[in-house]
Amino acid sequence: MKTVKLKFIGINSKLIPNISIDDQYVKCKKNDFGSYEATVETEKEEIKLAFTRDLELKAKLWWLYAIISFIVSIFGILDPPYDRKCISMNCLFNIKLNQENNITIRFNTLTSNGKAVELETENSFEEINNEYKIDKTAKKRWIALLVIKIVCWIGIAIFAGWLIANKII
């Protein structure tokens, strides 16, 4: 049985990736220093380590969730904002394993292009994908959602003005 000890540095509230090893989700625990750690045991000689960042605006029923959260959050006042840059992450590594494997992953800041992570390990590995990219579909949906929210706020302001005018006269 081979042990893989993963340490993730640089994960913040704007960057919450999905981490998987051989298509199995990895659950991480936060340590005392603010970074995350995970330990995985496997029988394999080589693993596929993947990091993805799925955007909510790419989901199948994104519009339904957006409408419900807009109404429930008092017309967007308490609604957390979507990532306006719409940057997704796609990273995939093949890592050859030893008996004990310590792997440190440093996440770079969100940029529209460039490397997403830096891998530090004594193991040999192959980098298949390692990129941040702007998701054009999510960007279009974000712009459409912003326009709809502005139109709704203008409609609410006009309706409130109409109600006030009818109460005063």
- The pair of structure tokens assigned to 141 is 């949906």
Where is 139: in which H helix or E strand?
A: helix 136-168
Query: Residues in the chain, how many?
Result: 169
User: Is 63 buried (19+), middle (13-18) or exposed (0-12) by CB count in 10 A?
Assistant: middle
User: Is 50 buried (19+), middle (13-18) or exposed (0-12) by CB count in 10 A?
Assistant: buried
Residue ranges of alpha helices (H) inside 18-135 are 62-72
pLDDT in tens, the chain (169 residues): 888 888 988 887 777 788 888 888 888 888 887 788 888 888 888 889 998 888 888 888 988 888 888 888 887 778 777 777 888 888 899 989 888 888 898 888 877 777 888 888 888 888 898 888 888 999 999 999 889 889 989 999 999 999 999 887 5
pTM of the predicted structure, to 2 decimals: 0.74
Number of domains in the chain: 1
Per DSSP, the three-state class of 117 is: strand
Provide the pLDDT for residue 169: 58
What are the φ and ψ backbone dihedral angles of 123, each rounded to 5 degrees?
A: -75, 155
Identify the domain containing residue 128 by its residue range. 2-168
Provide the pLDDT for residue 151: 92
The DSSP code for 43 is S
Per DSSP, the three-state class of 59 is: coil
